[in-house]
Amino acid sequence: MKTGRIIRSLSGYYDIQISNGEVQRTRARGEFRKSGQKPLVGDFVDFESENDEGLIWKIHPRENFLVRPLIANIDVAVIVTALKEPDFAPNLLDRQLVALEAAHVTPLIYLTKSDLLTESEYIEATKIAERYLTIGYKIILPLSNSTHDDFLELRSELRGKVAVFMGQTGAGKSTLLNQLSPELGLETGIVSKALSRGKHTTRQVTLIHVDDALIADTPGFSSYEVFDFSAETLDDFFPEFVVARQNCRFRGCLHLNEPGCAVKESVKIGTIAQSRYNSYKAFYDLIKSQKPRYNTDNRNI
């Protein structure tokens, strides 16, 4: 029996990498389907394999997982966020942060296109970065005239980790990935071409080696149509709210119309950013208004 990490799934086959770097191909036992389990890219598994034919016998417990894309045991999610063209969108960044908090995935915010900013716009960008640093998020803001040192910082943050990259169209995600590894675009293209011959291509994920990191090729990983938790638990995923709410007058305070709300008081005095509170209110209303969604993406996870 061997143990390894699934780095690719394709048409019912799973490519598993073991500790010496060798990759072996297997299928999953039929028992997994019967028990409602499904191996995911990123899973550590016990398996038997000989001549590229084998079976997965056991899936190890997961640290975390994402549904879009289907991937497990992520160390860091890099949120590639543009400061200009398109303009910085705090609501979108906060939406991604909330989704990652709910999934217990550590985010790293990488701000792009600082070279397009005027001097005054760059000063404003430093205030944005400070806002998220204060909350406790790791954030990289490249200097307006050079990204070299900040790029080295990103490489350092990814070293030895499994990472996914996410970001709105035009934020510079592809450019950043190609800077990390000129071969990455070629590899992901080859993988995508192979996947296009199968079904449900947008649900397929591949982990690709970049230096000593594993980076997920994750098509479609930029939007969250719904939140899969109740509005009453939304504040759990705003770290600064979790700290402030301890001083709310009422237990279970929703931070909307209740008297004695410490979160609203923190917004008033500036220790919680108004933009973050605006995002909270928008997400609360969104969750309350969205129709029940019977998500089948994670039915066998």
Binding annotation: 112-115, 167-175, 248, 253, 255, 261
**Binding-site annotation: residue ranges for Zn(2+):** 248, 253, 255, 261
With a CB cutoff of 8 Å and minimum separation 6, the contacts of 186 are none
| Cα dihedral 184, 185, 190, 192 sign | positive
Distance of alpha carbon 115 from its chain centroid, rounded?
A: 25
- Map tokens 């389990």 to a residue: 37
Cis-peptide, bond into residue 69, ω within 30° of zero: yes
List Cβ neighbours of 227 (8 Å cut-off, separation of 6 or more): 98, 99, 102, 234, 283, 286, 287, 290
Instruction: Give the Cα separation of 133 and 147 in Å (integer).
Output: 19
Nearest to 279 by CA among 67, 15, 98: 98
Amino acid at 263: V
Closest of 82, 91, 18 to residue 48, by C-alpha: 18
The binding site for GTP consists of: 112-115, 167-175
* Burial class for 161, CB neighbours closer than 10 Å (0-12, 13-18, 19+): middle
Instruction: Measure the CA–CA gap between 263 and 271, rounded to whole angstroms.
Output: 9
Q: Are 83 and 113 in contact (CB under 8 A)?
A: yes
